[in-house]
A and B are shown apart, each in its own frame.
Chain A
Amino acid sequence: MQNRNLTADDHFKELAEAVVEMDEERAVAAAHASLESGIDAYDAIQQGLSAGMERAGQLFEEEEYFIPELLMCSDAMYAGLEVLKPHLKKTAGSRGTVVIGVIEGDTHDIGKNMVRIMFETGGFNVIDLGRDVPPQRFVDTAIDSNADIIALSTLMTTTMDGMGTVVRLLNEADIRQGIKVMVGGGPISPGFAKRIGADGYAVNAAEAVKVARELVAI
């Protein structure tokens, strides 16, 4: 990849492929190579790494990739990102701030972590509250950080009630208008999302980013 004859597109393609192929070392090498060729770091991230992650998300939706593969793709993406980040001339304009977490009572955070990764790679600023989070903390954090979206995840039917509580707390605090709520996770259905008054539902991590983009575009 030291070849000076490579076009910018070649570099983007190599970065994207390294991500899709789950190859951290290749992503690091491709990131260095693109910098050496004078490619703008921001473009390398957007058109290379993020494009690769988007493709990985697609493969996930097509059930070609599953959680372990998607996690390894994101590792490759972050490895490349580490190299490129210090060379960013401007901070990339964020699409919005998302407060994300798993509702209190549930420590299953695989799904939530996937969604966080997809949000981050999709250009959102993400505040991750982790797992087992009380409803009030989502609301407090969203207010403090001036967030656009609260994203709630649960894998257990036993903790679904907490999602409704978050919406209720937002209503009570009279800040419901400014903050969109999206929900997802194993037992959650679009019908349930509607019932508790959530603005969006996503069936998986790849779709979550699309839904979030639509929510903040409105």
Chain B
Amino acid sequence: MSSTSPKDRLLDTLAKKRVDRPPVICTGGMMNSAIVDVMTKTGHTLPEAHFEAGRMADLAAGIHHETGFENLGIPFCMTVEAEVLGSEVDFGSLACEPKIARELFPSVKSVVYRDISSMLQVGRISQVARAAELLALRHPDQPVIGSLTGPVSTAASLVEPLQFLKELRKERESAHRVLEYVSNFLIGFARVLVDSGATVICIGDPTATGEILGPRMFDEYAVTYLNKVIDGIHATGVPVLVHICGEMKAVKPSIPLLHSDAISADAFVNLKLLKQEYSQLTTMGNLSTILLESGDPEKVIHRTETLLREGIDIISPACGLSTSTSLDTIRAMTDTVKEA
């Protein structure tokens, strides 16, 4: 048995200190592991746990306990931000995660700017914050990860996304203004989570991919505003993880420009090569969620061992888990890391 607490192990890893072995985590938010198996076993279920701090904390603790992931991750969706900003959210069901039903504005030019400090008082923000507080209190040895939807995705949840993407080119001034606004709001939200006890913040920004934006706009928007949010969180003294969705090829040279303390990548990204090319990066990932869902623990063990051998710094699923993923495969993953 190792004497290092999971919280210290993660923080040490992010501080580039030597650790006995990589942490194995699942951040929550976009990459949450609120699978049906866990919910039926623990009785803590979605969609109820999206709304109330006690239930949210109980489900997060249940996930931690059942899966073996060495963290507590909240919330379980990517809609807390968009809801507060005013878009319409469909809260889904037990097996189906919440999503934006309708974006509030048709164009970046029509966005109505509201006061950020008053927005931080509404929606589910206080419930997520209270959940972080409960979890930090009840699990002092575990890192509490607060998950944030990244600035580009949040902006694309506020403004109709296709129009938004075009306007990144056509209406640059207004687009930047929206991203500035959204970023300031995200920093505010992250600070509420940090004040409530979040150990680490993870940002997932699925619209900000090289495949969607291309390298030029990835730099102009994704790198700029991710860094703005990261810097704002760093000012509180808390480390930040960033997950980049999709194929990274088109934007690879931009990845080291991100100020985050670790970079998480999708399954088809070769983290070993990324690490070789940019030795300064702390890498996180990237066990295929398709593999996890397919239900073959042997293959999962094999793949996890490969990631460990390759020196990936933090072992984690590569993307959002299917709610029908079985506990067996997840356990195979977390046990393999812990036995390393």
Q: Which residues of A contact B (CB under 8 A)?
A: 22, 63, 65-69, 71-72, 75, 104-110, 113, 132, 155-158, 160-161, 186-187, 189, 192
Contact = CB atoms under 8 A, between A and B. Distances in A.
A113 B213 CA distance: 15
A71 B322 contact: no
Given A63-B250, A65-B214, A161 B322 contact: yes
B166 A132 contact: no
B308 interface: no
A165 to B, nearest CB: 12
Interface string B74-99: 00000000000000001010001101
A4 to B, nearest CB: 34
Contacts of B214: 63, 65-69
Closest 8 CB pairs of A and B: A66-B214, A107-B99, A68-B165, A157-B289, A158-B322, A105-B96, A67-B212, A71-B166
B217 A108 contact: no
Interface residues of B, number: 33
Contacts of A108: 206
Contacts of A67: 165, 211-214
B295 to A, nearest CB: 12
Given A105-B97, A158-B97, A192-B290, A71 B162 contact: yes
B246 A186 contact: yes
B209 to A, nearest CB: 9
A187 B290 contact: yes
B162 A158 contact: no
Contact of B217 (A66, A106, A186, A192): A66
Contacts of A155: 206
Contacts of A110: 161-162, 165, 207, 212
B320 interface: yes
Contacts of B169: 22, 68-69, 72
Contacts of B166: 68, 71-72, 75
A132 B99 contact: yes
B170 interface: yes
Contacts of A66: 211-214, 217, 250
